[in-house]
Structure 1
Amino acid sequence: MLVAVFVVLLSACSHYTAINGMPAYHRGLSDDSRGYSAQIDGADPKTFRILAGGGYAKDRNSVYWSGTPVPEAHTQTFKALSGAYGKDDANAFYDGQPIPGVDLSSFELMSGGGARDEGAIYNGQRRTQACDSKTYKVLKAPWYADSRCVYVMGKQLTDVDRSTFKVINSVYGMDATHVYMFDKQLPGADPFTFKIIGNMYEEDVAHVYYESRLVPGADPVTFHPNDAGSPEARDQHRCYRRGLEVDCNTLGSGR
């Protein structure tokens, strides 16, 4: 009866299962597209249980992530915070790997994804020093902010005015005096006249940019990309490919 209940509990959660009453883990697809299950060596069926989120499990001897023992984890104190994050009395973990530098006393999940402690934000194993981790929130991925600072793709923006910062789209953001392409500041760009032309070109009243790089000498009044999706462009004086001046006779040739 104990074995039957054990098998039902395993089958109801995550990828953990049982083979002949022993704990097992259902792994990637095999040639028949059904996948396969592998018994977890050394697991104790009497004390084995799946933890919150279904990624972690433990018994009296070990902690497991995706069916693999986590040797650094302490089974007596380990708690799963999600399918990926967990912690014990010595470490925090992501996907079964210890996360260095964590303040365990304040480490917790964030509602928008990821985790935080008193001084930093964690996206998987990546640690980002935060100005105010308690107020950290998503603006529009990959843009994040707290009460004092702005972040993109795990990096803190420098020389940014948090009070006036706003997201343009998933690539661009601006404050009252600067325009950003991810963490790169567009040199001299005017936020009030900035617009996205397309094909990785942007302009303001006085400049043209390719990605975050200034296109020297380009005329924003007459500048336009040649075709949708093309890195080629022209203005009334010159021709360009990926923001660099080229002979107009080579446009469309791929040279």
Structure 2
Amino acid sequence: MINRLSKLFAIILLMSVPSLMLAQYYSYSKRNGQVYYDGKVIHGADSHSFRDLGYGYGKDRNHVYRYGTILEYVDPSSFKVDRRFSSDNRPSHGRPDGGYHNCERPGYYVSTFDVFYNGEKIPGASGSSFVILKEGYAKDAFNVYWMGKKISGASTSSFVCLGNGYAKDAFNAYWEGRKINGASTSSFKVTRGFYAEDAFDVYFKGEKLK
């Protein structure tokens, strides 16, 4: 009986070792005065001030890092990962190509002053007024965004998401951030799936059906 339990314990331990190694391998660590990510040393990182912020981000007194790479022109003194916006946006094993799992909030991160999408700073975005909507849409006090890209001419005060990639403001309707030419915004609504309609036409994935 003891031998059987010992063998079972050994099997469980062997099965758990790869996952434990994986979890350690794809994270920040500090050894012998150096900082590592993905098992590789981050040259120039200050181990004394370095902090793992989670979700692939870290910082020291000099720089902010994402997946072990310096984010240029980002102030480490004010940078933070806001868990309200990132709790469901964990990249697979912390890899740059892992993707994001929550389609409602795909990859937005907000610091005190700046906003990032998939690690890239969104030029001009206001961190203090930034609001994540859904399906890749977001807005601040000045602009509306889809997947981190500014939607030219969109009205932030009247902008609403309709679901299934559709959205509208007081002037235009949109599908996946692209303006739907000729759509009547006052009567525009999503019907089912990727179909939408206004008082005059029917649309599929933002294209008017003839």
Instruction: State the TM-score bracket (shorter-chain normalisation).
Output: 0.5 to 0.7
C-alpha change, 1:100 and 1:182, in structure 2 (3 Å) is farther
Letter in 1 for 2:161: I
SS at match of 1:189: coil
Equivalent position to 2:85, from 137, 140, 154? 140
Give 2:128's match in structure 1, choosing from 147, 163, 166: 163
Tell me if the contact between 1:208 and 1:215 (Cα under 8 Å) persists in the aligned partners: yes
Counterpart of 2:51, as a letter, is E
Q: CA RMSD in A?
A: 3.4
Q: Give identity over the alignment, percent.
A: 24
Using the size of structure 2 for normalisation, the TM-score is 0.68
Matched, 1:211 2:176: yes
Contact kept? 1:201, 1:211, Cα under 8 Å: yes
Query: SS at the partner of 1:221?
Result: coil
Higher helix share: 2
- Mark the CA change 1:105 to 1:130 in structure 2 (over 3 Å): closer, same or farther: farther
Aligned with 2:151 (options 166, 180, 186): 186
Return the TM-score normalized by structure 1: 0.57
Alignment partner for residue 243 of structure 1, among 199, 206, 209?
206
Asked if the contact 2:137–2:144 (Cα under 8 Å) also holds between the matched residues in 1, the reply is yes
Distance 1:90 1:101 in 2: 11
CA deviation vs aligned residue, 1:199-221 (integer Å, no higher than 9, x gap): 10000010111111111111111
CA drift of 1:109 comes to: 1.8
1:116 maps to 2:75 = no
Cα shift at 1:171: 3.1
Distance 1:144 1:218, change over 3 A: same
Unaligned runs of 5+ in 2: 1-8, 87-106
My pick for the range that moved more, 100-109 or 186-195, is 100-109
Asked if structure 1 preserves the Cα contact closer than 8 Å seen for 2:59 and 2:76, the reply is yes
Cα distance in 1, alignment partners of residues 148 and 62 from structure 2? 21
**Is this contact kept in 2: 1:106–1:117, CA < 8 A?**
yes
Conserved in 1, the CA contact under 8 Å of 2:137 and 2:161? no
More strand by share: 1
Residue 90 of structure 1 deviates from its aligned partner by: 6.9
* Residue aligning to 1:45: none
Is residue 222 from structure 1 mapped to residue 187 from structure 2 by the alignment?
Answer: yes
- Relative to structure 1, the CA distance from residue 108 to residue 225 in structure 2 (aligned partners, 3 Å threshold; closer, same or farther) is same
SS at 1:110 equivalent? strand
Highest RCO, 1 vs 2 (Cα 8 Å, sep ≥ 6)? 2
- Of the candidates 43, 50, 54, which is equivalent to residue 107 of structure 1? 50
Which residues of structure 1 form unaligned runs of 5+?
1-10, 18-24, 29-53, 57-64, 67-82, 248-255
Q: Residues 226, 100 of structure 1: CA spacing in aligned structure 2 closer, same or farther, 3 A cutoff? A: farther
Tell me if 1:232 matches 2:210: no
